[in-house]
Amino acid sequence: MALPIVLSRLSKRFGSSNAVDDVSLEIQAGEFLALLGPSGCGKTTLLRMIAGFETASEGQILFGDRMVAGHGVHVLPEERNVAIVFQSYALWPHMSVAENVAYPLRVRRRSRADREAKVAEALAAVDLSGFETRRIADLSGGQRQRVALARCLAMDPGIILLDEPLANLDVHLRASMEETFARFHERTGATMVYVTHDQSEAMAMATRVAVMERGRILECAAPATLYGEPAGEAVARFIGDGRIVDAEVLSGDGAGRCRVRLLGTEADIRCPPGRTLRGPGRVCLRAEGLELTAQGAGLAATVRAASFKGAHTRLSVEPLSMPGLVLTVAAPHPVAVGATVSLRVADGWLLPRAASSVAVPVADAARELA
Ligand SMILES: Nc1ncnc2c1ncn2[C@@H]1O[C@H](COP(=O)(O)OP(=O)(O)OP(=O)(O)O)[C@@H](O)[C@H]1O
C-alpha cells in the first residue's frame, strides 16, 4: 500500500557544511515526486536519508504514521520496506533475469508458486516476458534497468526511491524509459521519489518537482506551475532557462493579467491573480514568449547568434535598450548574425515575490494619487 512521506525540518551536516538544510516536505501517498537540482545540491543525500543509509542530524521522517528517523529513532534501511533503484542497476550478474527478480521474494521466503507468478507479472509489466532465463551480462543497459524495475514491482513496496536511474542510458533509450517509468508508477501506485539533475526528465514524469539548491528546497510544485508560474527568480532561471528583467507594472485586471513596461516597450503578460499591483516588478521571459515582428514595430535587438533547429532557427538577441542581456527567440526562418530584428513580448510572468514586496495595489495607489 502506498504511504505518504513527511519530512520535517530535516538537516544533514557533514562537518561544518549542511548537505541538507532544514527541509520540510509532504509527499502524498502514490505521488511521483522528483528531486531536481544541480550537482552537489543535496538531492542524493536527502534520498539516502529517506532510504535510511544516512542518519538525520536534525528533524524527522515519517512513513505514514510510522517514525523512521528523528527523536533518537533510526530505522535501518532493510526495515523500512522501501525499494531502491540505482543508476548502477545493482543486479546479481551471475543470476538469470528471473532469479534476480525473484531474489527479494526468496529472501522473504515466499512460496515457489507465488514467486513464479509475481516474476511473470513483473516482467510482463516492463516488456521483458520471454527474458526469464537470460543472463544479466547478455542484456543492454535499458533492459538491465527494466529488470531492476521488475524486481521492484515483484516486491510490491509502498515506497520506491530512484537515484538517477537513467543516467547511464543514451538519449533515445532515456525517452522510451520515461514511458516505462510512467507506466510502472501507474501499475505500482507506489509513492515514488526520483532524484535527477535532468529537468526534462523530471518535468516529463513527475506529478510534482522539488527544486533544490544548496541543501534547501526552493519550490515544490507541479511541472507546469514551475515552468509557467515560478514563485521566485532562482527557479525561473533554472527551469527552462528563463531570463529575468526589470519592469514597471502599469495596470492589472486582478484576474491574472497585467500591462507592463519593460525593455523600453509595453506588453500584456500574466501575473498572480488577486491583488492588482502596480509599480516596479521583475518579469520572467522565455524564448516561446517572444516573437519576431515587423521591423520598427517592437523591441529592437541585435542578433548575436543563430542556430538552425529544423522547424525553427533559435536566435540569441541583445536588446538595444539593454546591452549585455541575451534573450532567445525562435525565428520561423534563418536570420543573419549582426542583423537588427524587432521583437514583441507575447507572454511573460510577473514574479510574485518581487511584485508583492515592492508594488502597491492599484486601488491604494489611486487613492494616494487622488
Ligand atoms: N559522506 C559525505 N561526506 C562529506 N560530504 C558529503 C558526503 N556526501 C555528500 N557530501 C556533500 O554534501 C553535498 C551534497 O551532496 P549530494 O551527493 O547529496 O548532492 P547531489 O545533489 O546528489 O549531487 P550529484 O548530482 O552530483 O550526485 C555535497 O557538497 C557533497 O560533497
Residue for cell digits 502599469? 250
ipTM of the complex: 0.94
Domain range 241-351, its CATH number among 2.40.50.140, 1.10.3720.10, 2.30.30.170, 2.60.120.10: 2.40.50.140
User: Is any atom of ligand 1 closer than 6 Å to the C-beta of 14?
Assistant: yes
Output the pTM of the full model.
0.85
Element (H or E) spanning 344, and its range? Answer: strand 340-345
Contact call for residues 13 and 123 (beta carbons, < 8 A)? no
Residue for cell digits 520506491? 160
Q: Which of 190, 332, 348, 197 is nearest to 262 (CA)?
A: 348
User: Is any atom of ligand 1 closer than 6 Å to the C-beta of 12?
Assistant: no
Of all protein residues, the one whose alpha carbon is nearest to atom 8 of ligand 1 is: 45
Q: Are strands 58-63 and 66-70 parallel, antiparallel or unpaired?
A: antiparallel
Domain range 5-233, its CATH number among 2.40.110.10, 3.40.50.300, 3.10.20.30, 1.20.120.1630: 3.40.50.300
User: Is any atom of ligand 1 closer than 6 Å to the C-beta of 48?
Assistant: no
- Cα-to-centroid distance, 14 and ligand 1 (Å): 9
Ligand 1 pocket: which of 21, 44, 50, 88 to mutate (most atoms within 8 A of CB): 44
From first to last of its 370 residues, what are the pLDDT tens digits of the chain?
A: 889 999 999 999 999 999 999 999 999 999 999 999 999 999 999 999 999 999 999 999 999 999 999 999 999 998 998 988 877 667 888 889 999 999 888 888 889 998 999 999 889 888 899 999 999 989 988 888 889 888 888 888 889 999 988 877 777 777 777 887 888 888 888 999 999 999 999 999 999 999 999 999 999 999 999 999 999 999 999 998 899 999 999 999 889 999 999 999 999 999 998 866 789 999 999 999 999 998 878 899 999 999 999 999 999 999 999 999 999 999 998 899 999 999 999 999 999 854 444 444 444 433 333 3
User: Is any atom of ligand 1 closer than 6 Å to the C-beta of 197?
Assistant: yes
CB atoms within 10 A of CB 287: 17
Class of residue 192 by CB neighbours under 10 A (exposed 0-12, middle 13-18, buried 19+): buried
- Cα-to-centroid distance, 54 and ligand 1 (Å): 12
Domain ranges of the chain: 5-233, 241-351
Single-letter amino acid code for the residue at 75 = V
